Amino acid sequence: MNILITGTSTGIGAALAQHYLQLGHQVFGISRKKNITLAEYGAYSHQKLDLTRFSRVRKRFSSFLSPVEKLDLVILNAGILNEIKDLKDTSIEEIEEVMDINVWANKNLIDALYKLKKPVTQVAAISSGAAVSGSRGWNAYSISKAALNMIVSLYSKEHTNTHFIALAPGLIDTNMQEYICNLPDSDKYPAVRILKEARGTDKMPTPIEAAPLIANAIEQSKAYESGSFVDIRKME
């Protein structure tokens, strides 16, 4: 398969890229930093890009994907977490920063992708349970992931030859968790306590451990209606 993945420098994106490369697939990765391990694979192509530089992404996209006639899978993984605090204490500028990478960068990439007029079999966006939980303190992140889910739903109606899915991957021990688990304990944000208790247990696998599970969920998600949001912990 020809697979495009965003956010391949670390975490889930890097682990998914390595998983697919080990299976013999061709992987195209986009991130601001290069991953040295992935660079050792001959089937890995990397484009250094800041996805929030929207016009630059559009300009470079065509040449980056010129070697392929179609994409079997696009994984929209790149994303950031804002500071955990109440929405009333979060500025519009902070929310805009999160929305730029978690939402608008994905819209920009999808639009650039279809302008190439290359068939795309499946688009999987890495969402979060925070999109629907409404947990206190997750403000901009929750808003952005809810918006991402709707973008996936809307594009599924526009590009009917592509299967779109938004996936919540569950708890994974990434750099994001490093930040969360170092926060002071507070009754204001119960979700933080839950994550702290899960870290170091089988409830929160590493990205390498989680990658095959996510890859399998992406494949199994084709049984769901295009445009759906699915939490992989609840998949049958």
Range of the domain at 80: 2-171+210-234
| Mean pLDDT of the chain, nearest integer | 93
Decide if 84 is inside a domain: yes
Q: For residues 234 and 58, what is the distance between their CA atoms, to the nearest angstrom?
A: 36
Q: Tell me if 46 is assigned to some domain.
A: yes
Q: How far apart are CA 166 and CA 230, in angstroms?
A: 6
Q: What one-letter code names the amino acid at 232?
A: I
Per-residue burial over 91-103, b = 16 or more CB atoms within 10 Å of its CB, e = otherwise: eeeebebbbbbbb
Q: pLDDT tens digit string along 15-52?
A: 999 999 999 999 999 999 999 999 999 999 999 999 99
Helix axes 92-99, 139-158, angle to 10 degrees: 40
In a domain, 185, yes or no: no
Residue pair 170/130 in contact (Cβ under 8 Å)? The answer is no
Across 34-77, the runs of DSSP E, i.e. the strands, are: 44-48, 73-76
| Tens digits of pLDDT across the chain (236 residues) | 999 999 999 999 999 999 999 999 999 999 999 999 999 999 999 999 999 999 999 889 888 998 899 999 999 999 999 999 999 999 999 999 999 999 999 999 999 999 999 999 999 999 999 999 989 999 999 999 999 999 999 999 999 999 999 999 999 988 888 788 788 877 888 888 888 888 878 888 999 999 999 999 999 999 999 999 999 998 86
Helices (H), the chain: 11-22, 36-39, 54-64, 92-99, 105-115, 130-133, 139-158, 175-181, 190-198, 207-220
Number of CB atoms found within 10 A of residue 62's CB = 12
Q: Is 173 helix (H, G, I), strand (E, B) or coil?
A: coil
Beta strands in the chain (DSSP E): 2-6, 26-31, 44-48, 73-76, 122-126, 163-168, 228-231
> Can you give the pLDDT at residue 179?
83
Q: Is 165 within a domain? A: yes
CATH of the domain at 46: 3.40.50.720
- Look at the chain and report how many structural domains it folds into: 1
CA 11 to chain centre: 10
Query: In this structure, is residue 230 part of a structural domain?
Result: yes
What's the pTM value of the predicted model, to 2 decimals?
0.95
100 inside domain: yes
Is residue 187 in a domain? no
Map residue 203 onto helix, strand or coil: coil
In a domain, 190, yes or no: no
Query: Coil, helix or strand for 82?
Result: coil
Residue 156 tokens read as 């599924």
Distance CA 163, CA 225 (A): 8
Instruction: Give the residue among 145, 122, 117 at the shortest CA–CA distance from 132.
Output: 145
